[in-house]
Structure 1
């Protein structure tokens, strides 16, 4: 009888250890779009490395909008003036500068890169990553009303001399955003 209890205890221990292992098949779950795409929350030390260039990009972008001058952004990120595709949301900052400056003047901006969700990162290789940002951007107009709101985008970073810089942006279009919402509910 003691031998039966011993082997029973061994089986229970082995089964409990199996339950503690990381689920490597999570990416096969069709309901887990972020895992399927390879986006994961970065480690805390990596989080710092990625948020700094994202905040810098957002600063230059908001300054370009406030001053109605896309060159403020393009001087810092020249690759963003290439391969603009409004239908796909690729490098569409110029459109935002133009559309947000029609009919009123903007005087200030506030942004939060994680107001809706933590950043997620997908490594392309050792020197390139894509950061998914789900945040908010609010512009203060000269009549003290606000414009802006939620945004969801992918920001492509490339590392040169141990510094990450933005080389491409991909804002979710309305149809992509609706699809993303369905997949993440």
Structure 2
């Protein structure tokens, strides 16, 4: 157990040191109790048509935006109130298409979930693609929502998902402005 804690601490330190590398991030500012990234290198990788695993500093720079999106997505499902998600991500109200999986959130309200967990890297590590100063993040994970059955037993519903999150810089922070979830009809042919 102690060895695992030391390993985690070491990995976090390496990630932080890498994130602060001036030659990789164009602007990193530090305050007394937090580090905020206002920009990452958006130079295109060798092949702009495919997703690649992000380098550590890109991962660290993008994760706050992903955590925020998935937090409000989970809250929208649990409360059955998409407005909370839209308050934080108003651009997601635009161009909603259930058939194409654009800017949608699955509704589990028939089960009345009261808790949930989203594991963005459950099935695969995140992959990114840079295009014109914007970032697309391919997430292949799992989301599970907890509910009580008729016998008051705790049950989980949900499952595997693939989604592309589109991010752009807004007020010095990466923000999700569009989502494209892979639908059942797209699942077999989907190739990022």
TM-score by length of 2: 0.70
Whether contact under 8 Å (1:130, 1:155) holds in the other structure is yes
Which residue of structure 2 lines up, in the alignment, with residue 75 of structure 1? 87
Which residue of structure 1 lines up, in the alignment, with residue 141 of structure 2? 135
Whether contact under 8 Å (1:130, 1:154) holds in the other structure is yes
Counterpart selection for 1:147 from 152, 157, 168: 157
Which residue of structure 2 lines up, in the alignment, with residue 60 of structure 1? 72
Which consecutive residues of structure 1, in runs of 5 or more, have no partner in the other structure?
Answer: 1-26, 28-34
Aligned equivalents of 1:50 and 1:117: distance in 2?
Answer: 16
Which residue of structure 2 lines up, in the alignment, with residue 114 of structure 1? 121
Secondary structure in 1 matching 2:100: coil
Secondary structure in 2 matching 1:53: helix
Larger Rg: 1
How many residues are paired up?
Answer: 143
Aligned equivalents of 2:128 and 2:48: distance in 1?
Answer: 13
TM-score by length of 1: 0.72
Cα offset, 1:36, TM superposition: 7.5
Cα offset, 1:92, TM superposition: 1.2
Which consecutive residues of structure 2, in runs of 5 or more, have no partner in the other structure?
Answer: 1-45
Aligned equivalents of 2:163 and 2:143: distance in 1?
Answer: 12
Counterpart selection for 2:60 from 38, 42, 48: 48
Whether contact under 8 Å (1:55, 1:113) holds in the other structure is no
Secondary structure in 2 matching 1:80: helix
Which residue of structure 2 lines up, in the alignment, with residue 15 of structure 1? none
Cα offset, 1:160, TM superposition: 1.7
C-alpha distance after superposition, 1:33-86 (max 9, x if no partner): xx6832111110101112221111011001011011111101000111110111
Q: How does 1:17-32 map to 2 (within 5 A)?
A: none
Aligned equivalents of 1:55 and 1:152: distance in 2?
Answer: 16
Secondary structure in 1 matching 2:103: coil
Computed over aligned residues only, the root mean square deviation of the Cα atoms, in angstroms, reads 1.7
Which residue of structure 2 lines up, in the alignment, with residue 171 of structure 1? 181
Aligned equivalents of 2:129 and 2:185: distance in 1?
Answer: 22
